[in-house]
Amino acid sequence: MQLDWALFFSALISSTLFPGGSEALLLYRLDEGASKPLELLCLATVGNVLGSIITYAMGRLGVQISHQWFHTPEEKIQKAETVFNRFGKPALLFAWLPVIGDPLCLVAGVLRFNILWFLVLVSIGKLARYSVLTFPFL
């Protein structure tokens, strides 16, 4: 089995505080006739969840580190914290959303949210997002 490392790393980087477009690469791979769409779905999901774990870990290590390394705007973190506090655990189902998704993961780490719940909720959300994109190619 040959893995699509470009897709994996695109998904990983896209779910950290760096911008990225793993959805576009997934759709491109699927459109070019990939014979294993489920494999691509799994690669994108695992890479994206791993990137969220990295962002969560940065939050646990401290927001100051993420500000220094990634220049995360304070307003993004404040907005994510407001969403997280308002909706609680279910907010992590939306960690795939642009603008607030990555800061949500960061805030979960800052608040020392339970890592097992974090993994379950983030994985469900990200798998659902990539599944919607992959479904037409199954």
Per-residue confidence in pLDDT tens, the chain, 138 aa = 467 888 888 888 887 766 678 888 899 889 988 778 999 999 999 999 999 999 999 888 876 665 666 566 777 777 777 777 788 789 899 999 887 888 889 889 988 899 999 999 999 999 999 999 999 998
Number of domains forming the structure of the chain: 1
Q: pLDDT at position 1, please? A: 47
Residues in the chain: 138
- Rounded CA-CA distance 115/81 in Å is 17
Entry pTM: 0.81
- Rounded CA-CA distance 70/18 in Å is 8
In terms of residue numbers, what domain contains 14? 5-137
